[in-house]
Structure 1
């Protein structure tokens, strides 16, 4: 493996100083050099299921963010959203790689990302909704990042050292994602009459999906506190909304996931034996 394709030690100060984590191209295993044995105290099936769901969240949202390329309101925002999507894709890769180790199947990241159907995905439904306008994507990113931060802060102390290291690295990325989205929420809420209207509508569209996040993982108090701070700064209020029934964690998805996956998986399925 070339050093050009080695990212960095996943978590600074981690006990395994030889743990190098790869992103980019020119490698096959993103967990190369890491002890991936599952501790005896952990239920391997539960660990694999948790990593699959968390990986699905980030893969699907990364695909949605990629759709902003050439469509974002400014080139700077296009680059920012694309880079955030790449961060999420990197998280998905690590989580899927951990799945293949934990469930004993030896499946690769490609198997999880490209060769499962929509009903097999376990992502929350918020991430699969169409992008809508920029305001909706900003609110979704803020809520998702805040919720993910709260959950990954807990996972830093996971008894699985690999998942704990993944969480530790992801926290740094997610903190930036949340800050980016928060700044745009304030800018839109405290901007023109039109921008205020759009961000208000975006909040109304996101609100019905909040309960699913809190049902999937705890973090309600942290997310709501973060959200209220931003709303106060932006001169906004959170609308009341009835939760949308169903749960993506149980394979109950919106009509939008299957077309998204069809696009995402088309090349891999057309050339299943290809290597990249």
Structure 2
């Protein structure tokens, strides 16, 4: 598996550096420039199916996009201003990931669809995000419980994806590792604080964990696209992530004096376009302006 220093194409240079050339320190990664993949070699690596690569990028991009939307909904609602800022920054990080991944999807399948088309003009059944990202927001205890689960899983995924044969995926993963490590640590800190706090705070985080835990099993069920790309050295088999995920969760829950909820039997859903009722509500809000004015420029 190549390291981040090996992400080099003889014609265009280092993909990681190319993605950072336009980075503006005032913005989250991926949100400060017009074309996320400007100057980056987007050719599909030899031996990797372009349609599979595009589908995989949609999966990872949709995860980030929908989770970002849910976190954005905490603006003006978090317990303190500091937490509003923190959650908004995490949402911006994930929005940046989504921009890059959706743009990569449109380049990989040759369709030429841009990030806006993929985000705003697809129907519910065309989205491939895991259902954990879309379930309705509860209270703050549920928010940090879900973020802990999502970020722990995604951090394990990005750690392996940094060795992808696709230089764009590898570069996105290398950069995203630093951000998602913060997301995980932020959520873990709050889970420990709530779990080992007052009886009321403990009750809120316990109920939050129990409400999102039924969606955990889906995170580790490989879709056929994920399996094929993992075999081709471009993607990650999510079933390989469970051991690392469990080790981190056990450590956090132990510090929080909490016990792990009972695992539920979970079938794959979001990766195949099968979603909860909450997904339609998200898309109705997120896509309304773009669908009402499809030819508008901003």
TM-score of the alignment, normalized to the shorter chain, above 0.5: yes
Distance 1:12 1:265, change over 3 A: farther
3-state SS in 1 of match to 2:165: coil
Report which stretch shifted further, 238-247 or 254-263.
238-247
Are the equivalent residues in 2 in contact too, given 1:21–1:31 (CA < 8 A)? no
Q: Deviations over 1:173-222 (max 9, x none)?
A: 10000000000000000110000011111111122111100114231111
Who is 2:201 aligned against? 195
Residues 10-159 of structure 1 mapped to structure 2, 5 A cutoff: 14-15=7-8, 16-17=13-14, 19=18, 20-22=21-23, 23-24=30-31, 27-159=33-165
Structure-2 separation of matches of 1:100 and 1:21: 20
Cα RMSD for the two superposed structures = 1.5
Give the TM-score, by structure 2 length.
0.86
Structure-2 separation of matches of 1:77 and 1:38: 40
Report which stretch shifted further, 201-210 or 64-73.
201-210
Q: Which has the higher contact order (CA 8 A, sep 6+)?
A: 2
Who is 2:289 aligned against? 267
Give the TM-score, by structure 1 length.
0.92
Structure-1 separation of matches of 2:266 and 2:50: 32
Are the equivalent residues in 1 in contact too, given 2:217–2:263 (CA < 8 A)? no
Are the equivalent residues in 1 in contact too, given 2:154–2:180 (CA < 8 A)? yes
Aligned residues: 265
Select the residue among 233, 239, 251 that pairs with 2:255: 233
